Amino acid sequence: MNLKINKKKFIYLISPNKISKKFYKDLQKILETRKIKFFQLRLKKYSLKQKILIGRKIKVFCKKNKVKFLINDDPSLALTLGADGCHLGQKDMDIKDAKKIIGKKIIGVTCHNSLSLAKKAIRANASYLAFGAFYSSSTKKTKHVANIKILNKIKKITKTPIVAIGGINSENYKKLLLNNANFLAISSYIWNNKKYKPIEALEKLK
């Protein structure tokens, strides 16, 4: 699926690791700002049944606010929920098999810091390419470190949208946008910010 790039709508929001009662209220406020392009449901420690219940609630908010709703790792769950697509890591199934499940919906791929992984994803017609981690993150352990050079190299060989991920916050986000990142994947800066509430943290990303 081809994705439209809107410079004002550059945030790719990933769910917190734990869904609290307060989460839905915060999410509603955040999505209403119309700053979010994607919302990815990424829950590693929940059962399939719990993911379906949570996903159904989130889908309503996403649809209402015209946000693309994606599922991490699991094309079958994306199909069950009627999501807009899924995100695949390198240890998940390949794009070809994911397309057999969800058809022409959005399929994004983790490319870490690798030009060869990106080229492989481009050949398979990935909807977007995700690179990172650019900065250290509290959401997940950093195994692969990416830098600005990879963004500039990729932009020369493809028009496929680029997502930057890893430790992105109000101090460093502009540098990535100025260096060919189309979307910024953010999680802990919004959900686990010790200084700001989620909506306040978002407002710092102008």
Residues 49-82 have pLDDT tens digits of 999 999 999 999 999 999 999 999 999 999 999 9
145 pLDDT band, cuts 50/70/90, is: confident
Provide the pLDDT for residue 142: 64
Provide the pLDDT for residue 7: 74
pLDDT tens digits for range 6-18: 778 999 999 999 9
Full-model pTM: 0.94
Strands 183-186 and 85-88, how do they pair?
unpaired
Complete domains list, the chain, with CATH: 11-203 (3.20.20.70)
Mean pLDDT calculated for residue range 123-136: 95
